[in-house]
Amino acid sequence: MKLRELGEDRLIARLVKGLATHRDIVVGPGDDCAVLRLPQRTEYLLFKTDCVVERVHFSPNENPVAVGWKAMMRTLSDFAAMSGCPRYALVTLVTPADRRASWISQLYRGLRRAADRFKVAIVGGETSSTSGPLLVSVAALGTVEKARCVLRSGGKLADILFVTGRLGGSRKARHLKFVPRIEEARWLTENFPIHAMMDLSDGLGADLPRLAKASGLGFEIEESALPRNRGCSVAAAINDGEDYELLFAASPNGARLLEQKWRRKFPRLLLTRIGRLNRKSQIANRKAFHGYVHFQ
């Protein structure tokens, strides 16, 4: 059945059926706003939105479950970047009217599966038609203990720069099935003073300069040390984007202990020193260090 035969109210009724609930949700989908109880006073609220657009972030013949997974995880990855806990999400779906309702149901299966993975409750959303490509936007709300909120701007001179996992080539397949590094980020701030952190969505070449600039510093990296996915060049590891790994800065004191404890805690996930924050960046070939550039 096509959406134009199903209609909006029946579509929404299908989509929200059986959504997880929670005692802090006063009102979930179906009213004008979601109504939520406040978190603890020792916490900050985190608020973030992100989207995926057909032909930009996924191809039209992609598995809709994977598209839904990615749409949710892109937003949740920004909570990892601050060592926060995502809690609630709103899903905006903008779709051509001739899309099959079963495609949309599969998309929602992916969205829910991703939300469930981190105990995030989908508390509402919005649907609209469009004459263009399909789009999914996810807005999320979460919390972080005040003392554990890590910004991009907290980097200090001589901090060691670390990345989790491997970089490059993610746009082939990994971008549709990645798991945001929420558990890893939570463990890091529970055990070590992390000065600055972000998730790598546009690639190290775009994102590292943002972190350094926010901290009022430059950076140097050892290109040969970059942890690369199989078959990827250094340039690919720097510029491809969509890796959703963590980039963080921590004091050189304690860096070795951090690495030791990391290996014991996450034996299957690489943690690599890739460089350090300095006074002024010295990048040999600035043009080859750019990351994914939007609108180009």
Residue type, 191: N
Q: What distance in Å separates the CA atoms of residue 190 and residue 205, rounded to the nearest whole number?
A: 28
Q: What distance in Å separates the CA atoms of residue 88 and residue 15, rounded to the nearest whole number?
A: 16
> According to the binding rule CB under 8 A, does residue 94 interact with its own copies?
yes
47 versus 288: smaller Cβ distance to its own copies: 47
> According to the binding rule CB under 8 A, does residue 115 interact with its own copies?
no
Sole binder of its own copies in the list 15, 29, 50, 58 (CB under 8 A): 50
> According to the binding rule CB under 8 A, does residue 59 interact with its own copies?
no
Sole binder of its own copies in the list 58, 79, 178, 262 (CB under 8 A): 79
Sole binder of its own copies in the list 49, 106, 191, 251 (CB under 8 A): 49
210 versus 228: smaller Cβ distance to its own copies: 210
| Total of residues contacting its own copies (CB under 8 A) | 72
Site string for its own copies, 117-146 (x = CB under 8 A): ------xxxxxxxxxxx-x-x-x-xx-x--
- The token duo for 234 is 């250094």
- Burial category of 230 from C-beta neighbours within 10 Å (exposed 0-12, middle 13-18, buried 19 and up): exposed
Q: What distance in Å separates the CA atoms of residue 251 and residue 276, rounded to the nearest whole number?
A: 10
23 versus 294: smaller Cβ distance to its own copies: 294
> According to the binding rule CB under 8 A, does residue 282 interact with its own copies?
no
CA 180 from chain centre, in angstroms, equals 6
Do 273 and 227 touch, CB atoms closer than 8 A?
A: no
**Piece in contact with its own copies (CB under 8 A), picked from 7-15, 112-120, 223-231, 251-259:** 7-15
- The token duo for 40 is 């603890």
